[in-house]
Amino acid sequence: MDFISIEKGENLFWLGRYVERVYRTLNYLEGLYDVLIDTDETAYKEFCAALNIPDVYEDASDFMTSYFFDELNPDSVYSNLSRAYDDGILLRNTISTRSLAYIQLALDAMEDAKAEGSGALCSFEVIDRLLAFWGSIDEYLSSGQERCLVKAGRYLERLDMQLRLGESWETIGVTIGKLDRRLQGAKIAYSGQKMRVLKNFAQLADDDPETRLVALETVQKLLNN
């Protein structure tokens, strides 16, 4: 088994987190945009609060533009996708140039949409590129441990967002199981006790907001043994 440096391991892990963050955000925004346009122009404020990001937007229109495209906004979709690309550049010899190309194509789609003023209409293309990225990772990332590192980041990010955005405990439980397996495969040190707590939360399926908050705090401490 090849040695994986701490730096490389972190890049693989965060590559998975950033790609999943963009993918999950775009899927959620599809429904949120409909709400903003049709029923509640302030619904984006609840979204910002759920993700614990600053509400720096003047109105719904500003949110739909800035949160999607603004490269100077560190929380924007574009900024997170750019971070994924930066990690991918450092890892291109590991993940393959083909895998990296899918992130580049996703960035290109966003830049074209911004230039054309087409906004969220490019979401479907970006999502398709990111799904292709994951397929390419499965095909070309030969090291099982390295693949697990990327996917551990993916599932940790997914779990964090599922808890924040109110997804069902059933789907959260599935993610917890996947995360547990990938952390083991990645050989990342994590708290077995906290993992058991998370699995217990999923089994109890208590939708009390305080329970979700405690579960989220547990996720954030999972890797801090």
Compute the mean pLDDT over every residue in the chain, rounded to the nearest whole number.
94
* Per-residue pLDDT tens over the stretch 42-86: 999 999 999 999 999 999 999 999 999 999 999 999 999 999 999
pLDDT tens-digit profile of 99-136?
999 999 999 999 998 888 776 668 899 999 999 999 99
Can you give the pTM of this predicted structure?
A: 0.95
pLDDT attached to residue 1: 46
pLDDT recorded at residue 50: 96
pLDDT reported for residue 115 = 87
Q: What is the pLDDT of residue 2?
A: 63
What are the chain's domains? 1-142 (no CATH), 144-225 (1.20.120)
Residues 136, 213: Cα–Cα separation, whole Å: 35
Nearest to 1 by CA among 143, 176, 128: 143
Quick: pLDDT tens for 182-218: 999 999 999 999 999 999 999 998 889 999 999 999 9
Question: What are phi and psi for residue 169, nearest 5 degrees?
Answer: -65, -25
For residue 197, what are the contacts with CB-CB under 8 A and spacing of at least 6? 215, 218
Tell me which residue of 104, 30, 109 sits closest to 64, measured CA to CA: 30
Mean of pLDDT values over 166-179: 97
The length of the chain is 225
- Closest listed residue to residue 176, CA positions, set 207, 201, 198, 154: 198
Question: Cα–Cα distance between 100 and 175 in angstroms, integer?
Answer: 25
* Total Cβ atoms within 10 A of residue 12: 29
How many Å apart are CA 150 and CA 138, to the nearest integer? Answer: 10
Joined tokens for residue 85: 């690309």
The torsion of the CA quartet 89, 93, 27, 121, rounded to 10 degrees, works out to: 60
Kindly write down the DSSP assignment for every residue of the chain, as one continuous string.
-----HHHHHHHHHHHHHHHHHHHHHHHHHHHHHHHHHT-TTHHHHHHHHHT-----SSHHHHHHHHHH-TT-TTSHHHHHHHHHHHHHHTHHHH-HHHHHHHHHHHHHHHHHHHHT-GGGGHHHHHHHHHHHHHHHHHH---HHHHHHHHHHHHHHHHHHHHHTT--HHHHHHHHHHHHHHHHHHT----HHHHHHHHHHHHHT---HHHHHHHHHHHHHTT--
